[in-house]
Amino acid sequence: MEPSSQAPFTVRMVRYVATRFRKEYPAYFHELDSAITWWAKASPESIPPPADFADDVRLLRAIARLVREALDGDLSSALNSHASVDNVVHESTFLYSVKKDFPDFDWERIFADMLLRERGYLYPSEKAHRIPNEDALKPLVGVSLPWREVMQKIRAAAAEEVTTLFVGETGTGKSFDAKALHDAGPRRTQPLITLACGRVNVDTIDGVVESLFNEADIPVDQSGAQSLFKFRGTLLLEEIGTLPPELQGFVLDGVERIEREREQKGSEGIFPRLIATTTAPLEQVYLEGGLRQDLLYRLAVFQVDLPPLRQRKEDISLLATNILRQLASKHRVMIPRFEGDAVKKLERHSWPGNIRELKNVLEAGLLQVGDRLGQEHLRFDRGAAGAVLTAKDPTMERILERLEKLGVRVSKGNPETLVQFLRYMAGRRFRTHELAEDLNVASSTARAYIHRLVDAGMIRKFGEKKGATYQVIENELFAE
């Protein structure tokens, strides 16, 4: 006979196991919710349930007996003695009576899953929705598909303490996202130490570590720089690809120490969680001889690729609104009305400087407006953009050579800037005035560029005359 009321924990466990059964065996539990509601109010087994879900209640009662025996009987003692779940299920005898009544179910597998859950285990996707501090991720706004994929990874990393590597272009917010990850995770109450890898060397590392630890109010170990891997908190290695070769062995030894401490002592060990950021993909840095291979594999355990802003056009309005709110608070001014033409202008821009450039543009506009912010208040910093756009890389060199072979003259303006613009615009349509605006050239020059590239088969034209739009043919542009 069932008790007059079921214990809440037992009801939760029974519901979980029953739900798993329904997922594995869709033909059963047609009225699971009704059956559980009726059963949880508990009536003696001698009282028949309503005919609509009588079979559901019969199976539910079998699961309930199994759960109670597991939690109150021999299985509970076995679990407390740290026996493995597999052994507990395998050695138990009470499963046989239930299997005799319901032979079609894989009771061992599903029930072992329930026992693991009773110990606190969850599926990864479930655990990612139970991160310690949900509020820490609120500043990471976005609705675009690329950003939703990033957030899935960040949530998964926040639920665990896996070594995480953020990869993204300059200005995509790698360090900002890394801090949010720390604040959302289990070490949020511990200090975050940030080491700028490109600004240290063998001679300065001891002093830099001591300074960082003093700022965080952490005692420095007598071993100096080795303290970097002997504290409870998070260690952020900023731009790990710029770490001097003579320090890479030191960092590798520290990472190996963290792994040993984690394996031997678990949560009792004294070691930091490790997060790293890099602008250049570490595989590229390694191939160019700038990073040890063994360090590469230890850092790239869980990689989060941050998309450039040009691939997040749907997020620009949200980001701009959020940034304006922060800037207005910083400068203690009223938030101006954000005009639609200003949003459209922001969405057209290619954003070589990514979110950092967006913030600079908005801050400059905010400080010179009244109660509204329109497109006329937005000015793109040609100098800063030019510094980014003229940075050479193998892809750019290859495209310039390809343009030359096709007879496309790019002597006017900055040829590297044209190539970068084409890379940013690949896959989306644009107009002549947008090319002219982003390259800071006359419309006639932009029109000449476009006509040559259309003739070369690298740009596709849509429409005629003033209404014409163009689209870079990515396969042609980046063909080897």
For the cut 60, the answer to whether the pLDDT of residue 336 exceeds it is yes
For the cut 80, the answer to whether the pLDDT of residue 351 exceeds it is yes
Give the lowest-confidence range in 96-105, 307-316, 367-376. 96-105
Find where tokens 């070769």 sit: 245
What are 359-404's pLDDT values in tens digits?
A: 999 998 898 888 899 888 888 754 444 444 344 445 556 666 666 6
- Asked if 328 contacts 334 with a C-beta cutoff of 8 angstroms, the reply is yes
How does residue 222 score in pLDDT terms, banded at 50, 70 and 90?
low
Write down all domains in the chain, each with its CATH number in brackets.
8-121 (no CATH), 134-305 (3.40.50.300), 309-386 (1.10.8.60), 390-477 (1.10.10.10)
The pLDDT of residue 176 is 95
In three-state secondary structure terms, 238 is strand
For the cut 70, the answer to whether the pLDDT of residue 480 exceeds it is no
Per-residue burial over 252-289, b if 16 or more Cβ lie within 10 Å, else e, is eebbeebeebeeeeeeeeebbbbbbbbbbbbeebbeee
- How far is 95 from 61, CA to CA, in rounded Å? 14
- How far is 375 from 261, CA to CA, in rounded Å? 55
What does pLDDT average to over the chain? 80
> Among 24, 23, 71, 17, which residue's Cα sits nearest to residue 39?
17
The pLDDT of residue 268 is 81
What are 73-82's pLDDT values in tens digits?
A: 555 555 555 5
Q: Provide mean pLDDT across the span 293-297.
A: 91
For the cut 50, the answer to whether the pLDDT of residue 313 exceeds it is yes
Task: Write down the pTM of the prediction.
Answer: 0.66
How does residue 33 score in pLDDT terms, banded at 50, 70 and 90?
confident
Burial class (CB in 10 A: 0-12, 13-18, 19+), 435: buried
The pLDDT of residue 45 is 67
- How far is 425 from 440, CA to CA, in rounded Å? 16
In three-state secondary structure terms, 303 is strand
In three-state secondary structure terms, 130 is coil
What are 415-461's pLDDT values in tens digits?
A: 666 676 776 666 667 888 777 776 667 788 788 878 878 877 778 88
The dihedral over CA atoms of 9, 18, 36, 130, expressed in degrees to the nearest 10, equals 50
The pLDDT of residue 440 is 66
Q: Which segments of 265-336 are extended strands (E)?
A: 273-278, 302-305
How does residue 35 score in pLDDT terms, banded at 50, 70 and 90?
confident
> Among 62, 69, 72, 70, which residue's Cα sits nearest to residue 39?
62
What letter would DSSP give residue 426?
B
Q: Provide mean pLDDT across the span 346-354.
A: 82
Give the lowest-confidence range in 74-78, 126-130, 139-143, 286-290. 74-78
What are 156-192's pLDDT values in tens digits?
A: 899 888 999 999 988 999 999 999 999 999 999 999 9
